[in-house]
Amino acid sequence: MRLLVLLVLVGAAVAMPPKDGRIIGGTECKPNSQPWMASLNYGYHFCGAVLINEQWLLSVAHCWYNPYSMQIMLGEHDVRVFEGTEQLMKTNTIVWHPSYNYQTLDHDIMMIKLFHPVTITNAVRPVALPSACPVSGTPCTVAGWGTTQVEPESSVGTAFPQ
């Protein structure tokens, strides 16, 4: 599964959310062009996160997993192959939004503190956080290890393709 990127318009994404909650149609990223992306895994990738400074990540609360079992991989492109740019991290501190509701997914945000700060490299670097909310219609990038196409009806429910 390689890192994918989607370019969307903020206004369009808000006005027309996909029916099933997925964003389909991305393209494979240039390796390490999204150096703030992290893969959360426990033997395999299960969720993405974003490095917001040298020791904290932002993700969604519904991706919570036992912090003592979870690994955080930074500097990833292909999560199935060792590429020499990865930094494996652990955590014991996960903070949910205090109003997170697992049934409605309201306030679906969590913060993950790494045991140690990352080493800043060309493949691992915090994202530049905005100083204000974006204006409707502002282009933005969505990145993650997802799928680039809709699966045929017959394969619905199978693992995501690369």
Taking CB under 5 A as the criterion, which residues in 60-119 touch Ca ion?
76, 78, 81, 83
- Does position 28 interact with Ca ion (CB under 5 A)? The reply is no
C-beta of 85 vs 109, nearer to Ca ion: 85
Count the residues of the shown chain that bind Ca ion, applying the rule CB under 5 A: 4
Residue listed under structure tokens 């994202």 = 127
C-beta of 35 vs 76, nearer to Ca ion: 76
Could you tell me if 41 and 79 are in contact, meaning their C-beta atoms sit under 8 angstroms apart? yes
As a whole number of angstroms, the distance between CA 21 and CA 19 comes to 6
C-beta of 54 vs 78, nearer to Ca ion: 78
End-to-end, the C-alpha distance of the chain in Å comes to 4
Q: Which stretches of 10-143 are DSSP H helices?
A: 10-15
**Interacting residues with Ca ion (CB under 5 A):** 76, 78, 81, 83
